[in-house]
């Protein structure tokens, strides 16, 4: 099962950006594909890969986002008082996180200078909390900084 979603963007972005959808492939027009891959290592809940790089540029015409449902379910399908909500929120969180990568957001540890991976300002890029007792599902994913950063580029 997979969900393919077409994202449309304005074509007035900065020429220096890595990501652009203006180079959409002729054969595969979807910019971000969301699918499952339960064979990812057990400590990985999701992954983003550029599956159509733009030849000779630093740009990507299509990203594929993969969910590791096995790892997600290990932590969220059978635990917690609100099982259904926990599962839904974990997928929502991962979608936000991985989609953030497709538009250029990155982990705190990779920042220059590096910052805490759980810094609130990372918004979508805060990793999933595996202990349901500590989950903060009401974090403002895609919050102020994420929105400003994306809008500043695209």
Partner 1 sequence: MRAHSSIQRAFRNTQKTLGFGLLAIGTVLASSACGSSEAADSSNAVAPQTTLTSAPNVIFGEEMSIIDFADQRDLATYPAGVALVEVTSETRIANPTTEQLGVGSIGRSVRLQIVEVVRQNAPEPLPGTVDVNTSGWVLVDGKEMLEGSEDGPRFEVGKSYIAGLWNRADTGEWGVWTQGSVFEVVDGKVIPSQADQSLTSSSAKARRPLIGLPLPAFRVQLGKLEAYPEASQTTLTDPLMRYQEIERLRGNGPK
Q: Scanning residues 85 to 104, which ones bind partner 1 (CB under 8 A)?
A: 94, 97-98, 101, 104
Count of C-beta atoms within a 10 Å radius of residue 14: 9
Binding flag, residue 36, partner 1 (CB under 8 A): yes
- Selected from 31, 46, 86, 89, the binder of partner 1 by CB under 8 A is 46
- Selected from 128, 137, 143, 154, the binder of partner 1 by CB under 8 A is 128
- Selected from 17, 78, 82, 83, the binder of partner 1 by CB under 8 A is 17
34 HSE (CA, 13 A, CB side): 15
Binding flag, residue 141, partner 1 (CB under 8 A): no
Which CB, 86 or 101, lies closer to partner 1? 101
Q: In angstroms, rounded to a whole number, what is the distance separating the alpha carbons of residues 57 and 22?
A: 13
Q: What would you report as the CA-atom Rg of the chain, rounded to the nearest whole angstrom?
A: 16
Binding flag, residue 9, partner 1 (CB under 8 A): no
∠ CA(44), CA(49), CA(53), 5° rounding?
Answer: 170
Cβ–Cβ < 8 Å for 66, 93: no
- Selected from 73, 77, 130, 143, the binder of partner 1 by CB under 8 A is 130
- Selected from 9, 73, 80, 107, the binder of partner 1 by CB under 8 A is 107
Q: In angstroms, rounded to a whole number, what is the distance separating the alpha carbons of residues 73 and 45?
A: 10
């Amino acid at each position: 099962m997979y969900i393919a979603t077409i994202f449309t963007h304005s074509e007035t972005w900065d020429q220096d950006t890595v990501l652009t959808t203006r180079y959409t492939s002729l054969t595969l027009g979807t910019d971000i594909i969301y699918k499952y891959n339960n064979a990812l290592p057990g400590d990985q809940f999701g992954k983003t890969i550029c599956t159509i790089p733009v030849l000779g540029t630093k740009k990507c015409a299509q990203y594929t986002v993969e969910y590791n449902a096995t790892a997600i379910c290990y932590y969220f399908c059978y635990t917690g008082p609100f099982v259904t909500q926990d599962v839904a929120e974990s997928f929502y969180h991962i979608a936000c996180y991985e989609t953030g990568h497709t538009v250029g957001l990155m982990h705190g540890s990779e920042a220059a200078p590096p910052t805490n991976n759980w810094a609130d300002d990372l918004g979508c890029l805060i990793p999933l909390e595996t202990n349901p007792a500590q989950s903060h599902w009401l974090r403002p994913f895609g919050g102020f900084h994420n929105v400003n950063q994306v809008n500043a580029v695209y």
